[in-house]
Amino acid sequence: MTQQNRISGGQIDTSQTLKFTFDGKQYTGHPGDTLASALLANGVRLMGRSFKYHRPRGVLSAGSEEPNALVELRGGARQEPNTRATTVELYNGLLANSQNRLGSLKFDLLAINDRLSNFLTAGFYYKTFMWPAAFWEKLYEPIIRKAAGLGSLSLKEDPDVYDKGFLHCDVLIIGAGPAGLAAALTAGRSGASVILADEDFRMGGRLNSETFTIGDASGADWAAATVAELASLPNVRLMSRTTVIGAFDHGIYGAVERNNDHVATPDEGKPRQTLWRIYSKQAVVCAGALERPIGFENNDRPGIMLASAMRSYANRWAVAADKRVAIFTNNDDGHRAAADLHAKGVKISAVVDTRADAPRNNDYEVLVGAQVIDTKGRLGLTFADVRLADGSERTLECGALGMSGGWNPNVHMTCHQRGRPVWNDDLAAFVPGADLPAGMTVAGAANGDFSTAGAMASGVIGAKSALKAIGLKAKTTKLPQAEDAPINISAFWYVKEGKGRAWLDQQNDVTVKDVKLSHQEGFRSVEHLKRYTTLGMATDQGKTSNMGGLAIMAELAGKTIPEVGTTIFRPPYTPTAIGVLAGRARGQEFHPKRLTPSHHWAKEQGAVFVEVGNWLRAQWFPQKGETHWRQSVDREVIATRKSVGVCDVTTLGKIDVQGADAAEFLNKIYCNGFAKLAVGKTRYGLMLREDGIAMDDGTAARMAEDHFVVTTTTANALGVYRHMEFVRQCLFPDMDVQLISTTEAWAQFAVAGPNSRRLLQKIVDPEYDISNEAFPFMACGNITICGGLRARLFRISFSGELAYEIAVPTRYGDALMRRIMEEGAEFDVVPYGTEALGVMRIEKGHATGNELNGTTTALNLGMGRMVSKKKDSIGSILSEREGLNTDDVLMQVGIKPVDPSKPVPAGAHLMNLTGPVDADHDQGYVTSACYSPILGHHIALGFVKGGGNRKGEKMRLVSPLTKVETEIEIVSAHFVDPEGERLRA
Amino acid sequence: MRYSGLRVIKEALTGHKGWTPAWRDPDPQSQYDYVIIGGGGHGLATAYYLAKEFGQKKIAVLEKGWIGGGNVGRNTTIIRSNYLLDGNEPFYEFSLKLWEGLEQDFNYNAMVSQRGILNLIHTDAQRDAFIRRGNAMFLNGADAELLTTRQIKERYPFLNTNDARFPIKGGLAQHRGGTVRHDAVAWGYARGADSRGVDIIQNCEVTGFRRENGKVVGVETSRGYIGAGKVGCAVAGSSSRLMSKVDMRLPMESHVLQAFVSEGLKPVMPGVVTFGAGHFYCSQSDKGGLVFGGDIDGYNTYAQRGNLPVVEDVCEGGMAIFPAFGRARLLRMWGGVMDMSMDGSPIIDRTHIDGLYFNGGWCYGGFKATPASGFCFAHLLAKDTPHPTAKAYRFDRFEKGLMIDEKGMGAQPNLH
Amino acid sequence: MIINHPLLGPRDASEFTYLGDASLIDRPDWQSETAAQDFYEYQYLRDNPAGLHQELWFHESGDRSWLVVTRNTLTHEITDVQLARDVARARGRSK
Amino acid sequence: MHSLSPITALGGQTPKITTIGSINVSEIDSLALASIATRKGGKTVTEKVLKSMIGSVPAVGKTCSKGSFSGFWMGPDQWMITAPLETHETIADDLVAAVVSKASVTEQTGAWAIFDISGAAMPDVCERLCAVPIREMNVGDVCRTSIHQLGCFVTPMNSGNTLRVVGPRASARSLYHAIEVAAKSVA
């Protein structure tokens, strides 16, 4: 098929030919073409099918507001559903397929809906499908879902990568048409830092689609020359192929740059698109205006398009929409399409103008005071029937019809912060209201200045007011002469004649009749109209349909258009790939990885790792022959309790608390007392929230009179630090206390087990005596190891064994772990992971996150007495509330299976031995469970109502979810070494 | 006039002349027995059940804008009863049971679609917590199932199970959960209430309360004074603003929850999925749009709009589990005003002022609660005693230390 | 949003963590007879105004200062930002 | 001298240096760090120590240096001091001695990973990493921001050709990957 609709001129490079396929057929186009212009050039008018009735549809526009020409671009994993053919830059080898059809684009079986459209009016589905009840999920909904939807995803992982970035500028100019270019010249020449962004791959806006001159150059040439000057200014950043998607608070704009959508596949490592967060002091919106269609019977046939689009295809892309065209307009601007196409040798059947006083023309016939009342040609326009002013009827032969119902200023961006546009009667359109986002001015057609001269002048004014607002002086910009004709519109929304199937929303198939039905059934607010009929809810978000709909509703409801008002404009301005909004945070980089100092060593041992927040921690260290994790974990627990084990505990939060009031400060944040803690001693601390519920626990080691090292749980490290800064800065601002996190500054290892001291004595330098007498339980101190390396030692034990925690500056963590393993060989030292640590702390009865779950109090945890009443501390008052201190309050207990072979799984609930098993009789729940290799059976910790005095009681553990029910006995939570002799050995 | 398939056919063949307004547009009368402030899902449901279940008369619903214009028109349409605590689970299970019969009850197809909801599990601690929750659901008569990663992969083959930063280790499913067409819920209840004589009065903003020796006897509105035997407030995010007119400070902050919809796609998502290691949940509407959301922005606001960082955070969560969604396009983002309470659970209670009743604190879970909230509020208004499933939703629970804190985040609304 | 940090100047609000109403600075006296009621109201009740709201933000990935920001909850316009420490002292807090 | 040998933040024996297009990314493993925060009544002593060690008291958002020592502002009354690791591994102890409990000093060397990004396209890389207005920053400015969810200090150096990034050590690999990827998409 040759490009039979190509005509002369245009901004395309005919010296190069690009091959592309659409629905399996090969076509050719040229650089500078869009997929839409190339298809039209090859005589293809049928490009898609509408959503509900599957009517055949052709391209309506030439830009991102396109409702009809949606294709599945590319193939395989890169398939992009619902892509607007009007915004796809043609490249060699481009692959596109039509979508939303059952069968071929020409013979879509679902077009049966169009035959039944009288039964399938707006909102019909709310009134049926209710009987029989079960049929909805089984029959009706599956059918509807299969028929609905538009394009389809490949469901393969998106192979492209996306970038995110941050830009700062004095003035952001949105849109590079005549107004935007004039604004950029003014701001750029003043030396301000300027960003000029435009969604198109060629800057110039309407200048590239119209034929009038600016000064003595063509509009397009003036645009090109201006872009060249702007490119030479270092303080101006030109961003074509960049859509500003939203105006957010305080001058922040989101913009998506399409770096590589115009090539088949991006180069390796290069992003498909970039999401820019632009911080602007001032913004000038020059987003232009969008032309409106007119409602008339069958105004949706392929070949019927906006008059401005017809001009774009002719002037910019050298494509005649058809051999023979007609125009239907209610303003002077529509006539330009006839003039431009006539000048390029295209036959003009006639210009149908609703106005009695429409301007005549001697090159083509103008039918004044006339209306198009119907059209013919199912898969492509063939004829248009016209009602003349005198009532007679005429039929025009035409393969394309340009509609011009006037222009809507593009107020989208000005309403993203809930501002509302205001109605302008002379323009018969909404223009930006006064309540604009901070720092925003509007210029050009977006503000209702439709003429080129008007747009350029208001662009300069807009830039000047932006510069003034940031205290910059603008040099005067002398503008060349440009056309300044008014468009003399007289509002005309729809032709009243005809059976009423006049299309407003061509993608969601909403007709004038649907608006009438919506009014008839009481859905009269513009929001009810939208939601009941789905007008304006399609992928173009009503850019070419909302205005007609609300104008007709105003007429029906006897209200003015401003009284009906608009629905809410919401970001993004045009649909935005979810991939670009996620940026590089994909796959393994979703969150950063925090590695412990011994990570590399642990990997060498073949450790199995587990995610703990953003940390990766060794969970267990499988050895040859071990096939199940329980074998490894039991071995690690037994070896540690029998001799010695080492575990990397760096991930626990560590906070340096210094200053004269450090002790007093700890007294405020911990419910137990710290004032009298001796230097060289450590104490367990329970931290409450102000509501009296336990927040976190840890140890505080007094390294010096005015220096504590405080530990937190891994999960709460960030939250505890933030809380401590709140208490310091907001509650006790005059306390002399300084905080800084040292979590990652020190590598810290727990060395636990009866031989832990013997092992450490081979590492700690001899001048430091770490015997039980010199370094008793809960001692702490600065030491040196391995011949003088500064380190810290703490006699604290989470495992319940005789244990120390030794810390060195992180750079030496790896080396220290390897040294501990060497020196510990004679004691058969084993590394143990988080799983074994978990078993040992459950055996010992120590609470962790499962117990400190944000709803448990000191009393629940068996630490009620720790809440000192003698001093003020966060949470102590509200911990006294009656509901937290009932006599049947939950208490932490140990749980043992009566039959030793049975598990006691976490998450199970506890019921009395007899009686109903339901929520009303729930006695508590199991928080942590494990197999204890020391005791030879499963054990667990949990909470039971009045647990304090139910030791020895038999109860039922139930887990209906996992079909477990077993008899258990309530015991002390301290399964191993309840008296703590090992700790003090 | 009853809606049915036959009716649709008859009207189609007779030019659709027989359809009448779904609800009247009456002028306010001077006195009612009950005045409900707030024409959202909860307010309309309250009026509906007051008339239908409790046989009450002379009821009015006052809406400052257009009915269904608040959160019921702005949510991600999910229904479920997978709650943990005894103060909540009975109520939400009661609500799910009401959903199951709703369409036949108010003769309006709200497209209640029980396609199942799945909470993904990524850590052992999370598994334990979900097992405890699943058991609490069973013990309250709801359904739950613990799924393995393999079972999940069968239903969602495009779920990222190969290089996920936080691998999926299973999930808790509630097969009776699902989605409902949210606008239809407001319209269904409005139509049901209107047909039983309830006056639904739009564009009528309450500007103050009139009290006689302490008791509330009526409300001042933008359309004049309206007397009332009892006044029930169900205004969600505007709760503090409204109750400040009787000098009440509430245990609540108003926040924005952003929600998102993609362009229409052929069906890919059979049910609702929530991500456990980030802020993301997603389902697919019958029209084909992916409806998804995540966390609230986190600062007090009434602006019904959010900012970019949360949009990016939600999409990052989405791509973490559905890397294929990168090719789909976000079509529209919006925000509602969430009445975030101090423990994440609602309040349906009398106030200390005679004749004034309050229903609010729904955080971002109000949509699924609509039927039960309406039923229980109607019960309280009609009988002056709380419905059994809502007896824990009292104002004084915070003073007494009987908080209902599902997530255990404490008295900081933006963490619930 | 942009918060104009009193020391560092304008910074993206995504660098901050929000806590809530600045009334959290006015922690009651634990020894007053009405301590239980005072702490209940302090911890749980909020004005939650639709308009000017004084609120606490923590400069998490910045200088770790707590700030008191005065922001309109309808328009998000920020009219004042101070170091929380200064506000606390001005409200009589000390040690 | 003790018998343990350190490893770099990226886990190697020597700092990693790579070139991507015109961008050079080099791991810096030669600095000791310590933080210093004035205590009540310790302003004069602390400022005297700072002046003697790094030439002046860095103002808000500023850095300054004297010889091979340098320091930058971290927060109100709080600064970070850097010194050559080779000769001043125990900088923290020296500071503790100097301030005589008039300021709180904390060992920081192990907590940070440092990368220098240099080349003509450095600003383009920086724009893809964090929100600092790099094109308006000068040598002597320092700014704490977040890069790929990690809290990092960034400061321009050697007449604006280099950007030094000081980020949390445990996430050194993730930080390095983020820098590498940004450099690739710009190179």
Supply the pLDDT for residue D187: 87
* Tokens found for residue D119: 């080349």
Are both A387 and A330 inside the same structural domain?
A: yes
Residue C63 pLDDT greater than 70, yes or no: yes
d(CA A765, CA A784) in angstroms, rounded, equals: 6
| A445-470 pLDDT tens trace | 999 999 999 999 999 999 999 999 99
Are both A657 and A628 inside the same structural domain?
A: no
Residue B163 pLDDT greater than 90, yes or no: no
Which chain B residues are Cβ-neighbours of C67 within 8 angstroms?
none
**A630 three-state secondary structure:** helix
Are both A216 and A183 inside the same structural domain?
A: yes
Residue D63 resides in a domain: yes
Residue A277 resides in a domain: yes
* Tokens found for residue B410: 């404490």
Domain boundaries, position A767: 594-651+745-840
Are both A608 and A754 inside the same structural domain?
A: yes
Residue A39 resides in a domain: yes
Are both D182 and D172 inside the same structural domain?
A: yes
- Strands of B122-251, DSSP E: 145-147, 170-174, 178-179, 199-201, 206-212, 215-221, 224-233
Q: How does residue B306 score in pLDDT terms, banded at 50, 70 and 90?
A: very high
Are both B318 and B371 inside the same structural domain?
A: no
Chains A, B: CB contacts under 8 A, how many? 358
- What share of chain A has pLDDT > 70, as a percent? 100
A740 vs D131: CB contact, 8 Å cut-off? no
Which chain A residues are Cβ-neighbours of C36 within 8 angstroms?
877-878, 880-881
Q: What total number of domains does chain A contain?
A: 7
CA distance A197 to chain B (A): 19
Are both B72 and B186 inside the same structural domain?
A: yes
Are both B231 and B367 inside the same structural domain?
A: yes
Residue B159 resides in a domain: yes
Contacts 24+ apart (CB under 8 A), D85-90: D85/D29, D85/D30, D85/D31, D85/D32, D85/D109, D86/D30, D88/D32, D89/D32, D90/A790, D90/D32
Supply the pLDDT for residue A1: 52
Are both D59 and D97 inside the same structural domain?
A: yes
| Last residue within a domain, chosen from D109, D129, D163 | D109
For an interface test with C, which of A730, A868, A876, A880 has the most C Cβ atoms less than 10 Å from its Cβ? Answer: A730
Mean pLDDT for the stretch of residues B310-337: 97
> Would you say B55 and B345 are in contact if contact means Cβ atoms under 8 Å apart?
no
Are both B315 and B195 inside the same structural domain?
A: no
Residue A857 resides in a domain: no
Are both A647 and A752 inside the same structural domain?
A: yes
Are both D128 and D174 inside the same structural domain?
A: yes
Residue B231 resides in a domain: yes
Mean pLDDT for the stretch of residues A715-734: 97
A416 vs B405: CB contact, 8 Å cut-off? no
Residue D1 resides in a domain: no
DSSP output for chain D: --S-----TTSSSS--EEEETTEEEEEE--EEEEEEEEPTT-HHHHHHHHHHHHSS---TTBEEEETTEEEEEEETTEEEEEEEHHHHTTHHHHHHHHHTTSEEEEE-GGGEEEEEEESTTHHHHHHTT--S-GGG--TTB-EEEEETTEEEEEEEEGGGTEEEEEEEGGGHHHHHHHHHHHHHHH-
Are both A230 and A255 inside the same structural domain?
A: yes
Are both D39 and D90 inside the same structural domain?
A: yes
CA distance D40 to chain A (A): 6
C15 vs D145: CB contact, 8 Å cut-off? yes
| D21-69 pLDDT tens trace | 999 999 999 999 999 999 999 999 999 999 999 999 999 999 999 999 9
d(CA D72, CA A796) in angstroms, rounded, equals: 36
Residue A334 pLDDT greater than 80, yes or no: yes
| Last residue within a domain, chosen from B323, B341, B359 | B341
Are both D104 and D121 inside the same structural domain?
A: no
Q: What total number of domains does chain D contain?
A: 2
Instruction: Count Cβ neighbours within 10 Å for each residue of B39-72 and write b for 16 or more, e otherwise.
Output: bbbbbbbbbbbbbbeeebebbbbbbbebbbbbbb
Are both D101 and D152 inside the same structural domain?
A: no
Are both D45 and D21 inside the same structural domain?
A: no
Residue A72 resides in a domain: yes
The B117-121 sheet, strands edge to edge: A576-577, B329-341, B252-264, B289-300, B281-284, B272-274, B117-121, B170-174, B145-147
CA distance C87 to chain D (A): 15
Supply the pLDDT for residue D2: 87
Q: How many Cα atoms sit within 13 Å of D160 on the Cβ side? A: 10
Domain boundaries, position B312: 113-178+253-341
Q: Check which CATH number belongs to the domain holding A297 and give it.
A: 3.50.50.60
Chains near B with 3+ CB pairs less than 8 A apart are A, C
Are both D182 and D130 inside the same structural domain?
A: yes
Which residue type sits at A529? L
Domain boundaries, position D96: 31-109
Supply the pLDDT for residue A112: 94
Residue A944 resides in a domain: yes
Residue B13 resides in a domain: no
Mean pLDDT for the stretch of residues B12-31: 95
Strand A289-291 with A407-409, pairing:
antiparallel
> Would you say B381 and B406 are in contact if contact means Cβ atoms under 8 Å apart?
no
Q: Check which CATH number belongs to the domain holding B131 and give it.
A: 3.30.9.10
Q: How does residue A645 score in pLDDT terms, banded at 50, 70 and 90?
A: very high
Are both B167 and B119 inside the same structural domain?
A: yes
| Last residue within a domain, chosen from B290, B313, B341 | B341
Which residue type sits at A886? T
Are both D102 and D120 inside the same structural domain?
A: no
Are both B141 and B168 inside the same structural domain?
A: yes
Q: Check which CATH number belongs to the domain holding A954 and give it.
A: 2.40.30.110
| B92-117 pLDDT tens trace | 999 999 999 999 999 999 999 999 99
D151 vs C60: CB contact, 8 Å cut-off? yes
Q: How does residue B162 score in pLDDT terms, banded at 50, 70 and 90?
A: confident
Search chain B and give the residue with CA nearest A957.
B135
Search chain C and give the residue with CA nearest B338.
C48
Q: Check which CATH number belongs to the domain holding A697 and give it.
A: 3.30.70.1400
Q: Is C50 on the interface with A (CB under 8 A)?
A: no
> Which of A252, A690, A725 minimises the CB distance to C58?
A725
Search chain C and give the residue with CA nearest A876.
C30
| A352-383 pLDDT tens trace | 999 999 999 999 999 999 999 999 999 999 99
Are both D101 and D51 inside the same structural domain?
A: yes
Supply the pLDDT for residue A500: 67
Q: Check which CATH number belongs to the domain holding D147 and give it.
A: 3.30.1360.120
First to last CA, chain B: 43
DSSP output for B141-163: T---EEE-HHHHHHH-TTS--SS
Cβ under 8 Å to B: A residues 70-109? 77-82
> Which of A691, A722, A729 minimises the CB distance to C17?
A722
For an interface test with D, which of C16, C64, C95 has the most D Cβ atoms less than 10 Å from its Cβ? Answer: C64
B240, containing H or E segment: helix B239-243
Mean pLDDT for the stretch of residues A84-91: 98
| Last residue within a domain, chosen from B322, B341, B360 | B341
> Which of C37, C44, C55 minimises the CB distance to B299?
C55
For an interface test with B, which of A156, A507, A515, A855 has the most B Cβ atoms less than 10 Å from its Cβ? Answer: A855
D151 vs C12: CB contact, 8 Å cut-off? no
Residue A494 DSSP label: B
- What share of chain C has pLDDT > 90, as a percent? 99
- Of A666, A897, A887, A704, which is closest to residue A792 (Cα–Cα)? A704
Are both D85 and D69 inside the same structural domain?
A: yes
Which chain B residues are Cβ-neighbours of C81 within 8 angstroms?
none
Residue A876 resides in a domain: no
Are both A58 and A89 inside the same structural domain?
A: yes
From the options 3.30.2270.10, 3.20.20.450, 1.10.8.60, 3.30.360.10, give the CATH code of C2-90.
Answer: 3.30.2270.10
Q: Check which CATH number belongs to the domain holding A610 and give it.
A: 3.30.1360.120
d(CA A873, CA C42) in angstroms, rounded, equals: 15
Q: Is B361 on the interface with C (CB under 8 A)?
A: no
- Strands of B222-366, DSSP E: 224-233, 252-264, 272-274, 281-284, 289-300, 329-341, 347-350, 356-360
Q: What total number of domains does chain B contain?
A: 2
Residue A499 pLDDT greater than 90, yes or no: no
Residue D6 resides in a domain: no
Supply the pLDDT for residue D155: 97
Are both B147 and B268 inside the same structural domain?
A: yes
d(CA A180, CA A198) in angstroms, rounded, equals: 9
| A948-972 pLDDT tens trace | 899 999 999 999 999 999 999 999 9
> Which of B262, B327, B407 minimises the CB distance to A80?
B327
Which residue type sits at D110? G
Supply the pLDDT for residue A363: 94
Are both D100 and D118 inside the same structural domain?
A: no
Residue A785 pLDDT greater than 70, yes or no: yes
| A262-308 pLDDT tens trace | 999 999 999 999 999 999 999 999 999 999 999 999 999 999 999 99
Search chain B and give the residue with CA nearest A520.
B21
Q: Check which CATH number belongs to the domain holding D87 and give it.
A: 3.30.70.1520
